[in-house]
């Protein structure tokens, strides 16, 4: 299947191109989804030898006022987007027998994450950097491994938990980049935030659909999944307008802020 092939592709730019071809094929009806297909996926997604992966605590933090610090920041964001391509492709390739709209939605996400990665990689090169030149961590993929046997847990804890963090983080990062005079990077962050609202909304859509199919209350069952799969406890402040636009209800936002100790 094209999704599994794209997932196994190690070159980041070719992976982004493969994700776009997959989405175009799904939209055109040229990629058939066989619910009875055997699921044979690589143990790890294809990725280049670099960046070197380290624990999050080993990554240094630098201000974006210097070129070196700005390149490091953009490299970290590019790595998140690269991981996000893999997460969307895995959501397609791993979980069979779901509605066609599910695969179309995640095909769109994979293609757009590939676009984000390419924008960032191109800008890194304009600044004299390159993807792979800095260490990075693998936190996003770690949750994909934990939830590989449960599509409901995957929808709950990757798009609407880990990726939703980007809705909160993007505006302050964008402001810092703009203040540093990097209007190109600030514009890329605008594109990413715009698209990530849609991506998180897709996660919300399918989480609720799966909860309804299984007879679960979404709010209560989310708490169970977060506990059982050891989801990180999110910290505020939260971008409530973006989260509302992504489909979070007021009961969910209240619970989020209460758990984070936000008054």
pLDDT tens for 173-229 read: 999 999 999 999 999 999 999 999 999 999 999 999 999 999 999 999 999 999 999
- 85's tokens: 């391509």
List beta partners, residue 53: 136
Query: What mean pLDDT is reported for the chain?
Result: 92
DSSP 8-state class, residue 147 = T
Residue range(s) defining the domain that contains residue 176: 2-260
Task: Return the pLDDT at 229.
Answer: 96
In this prediction, residue 37 carries a pLDDT of: 62
Whether 111 shows a pLDDT value over 80: the answer reads yes
Give the C-alpha separation, 68 to 86, whole Å.
Answer: 27
CATH of the domain at 71: 1.20.1260
Over residues 130-177, the pLDDT tens digits come to 999 999 988 788 899 999 999 999 999 999 999 999 999 999 999 999
User: What's the number of domains the chain is made of?
Assistant: 1
| 58 token code pair | 């080993």
Helices (H) and strands (E) in the chain, counts: 11, 0
94 to each of 6, 35, 42, 219, 248, how far by Cα in Å? 13, 11, 11, 25, 26
Residue 136 β-bridge partners: 53
Report the 10 Å Cβ neighbour count for 244.
14
pLDDT at 218: 97
Give me the pLDDT at residue 32, please.
Answer: 66
What's the chain's length in residues?
Answer: 263
Lowest-confidence segment of 29-38, 51-60, 134-143, 168-177 by average pLDDT:
29-38
| Residue percentage of the chain with pLDDT more than 70 | 95
């Amino acid at each position: 299947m094209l999704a599994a092939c794209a997932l196994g592709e190690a070159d980041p730019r070719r992976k982004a191109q493969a994700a776009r071809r997959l989405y175009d094929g799904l939209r055109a009806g040229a990629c058939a989804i066989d619910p009875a297909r055997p699921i044979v996926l690589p143990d790890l997604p294809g990725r280049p030898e670099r960046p070197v992966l380290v624990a999050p605590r080993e990554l240094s933090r630098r201000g974006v006022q210097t070129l070196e610090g700005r390149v490091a920041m953009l490299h970290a964001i590019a790595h998140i987007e690269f991981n996000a391509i893999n997460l969307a492709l895995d959501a397609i390739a791993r979980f069979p027998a779901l509605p066609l709209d599910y695969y179309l939605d995640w095909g769109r996400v994979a293609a757009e994450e590939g676009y984000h990665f390419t924008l960032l990689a191109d800008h890194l090169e304009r600044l004299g950097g390159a993807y792979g030149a800095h260490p990075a961590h693998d936190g996003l993929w770690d949750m994909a491994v934990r939830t590989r046997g449960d599509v409901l847990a995957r929808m709950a804890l990757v798009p609407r938990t880990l990726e939703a963090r980007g809705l909160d983080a993007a505006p302050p990062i964008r402001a810092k980049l703009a203040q540093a005079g990097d209007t190109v990077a600030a514009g890329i962050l605008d594109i990413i935030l715009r698209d990530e609202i849609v991506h998180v909304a897709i996660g919300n859509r399918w989480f609720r659909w799966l909860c309804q199919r299984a007879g679960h209350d979404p709010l209560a069952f989310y708490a169970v999944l977060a506990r059982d799969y050891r989801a990180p406890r999110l910290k505020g402040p939260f971008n409530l307008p973006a989260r509302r636009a992504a489909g979070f209800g007021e009961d969910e936002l209240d619970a989020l802020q209460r758990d984070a100790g936000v008054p």
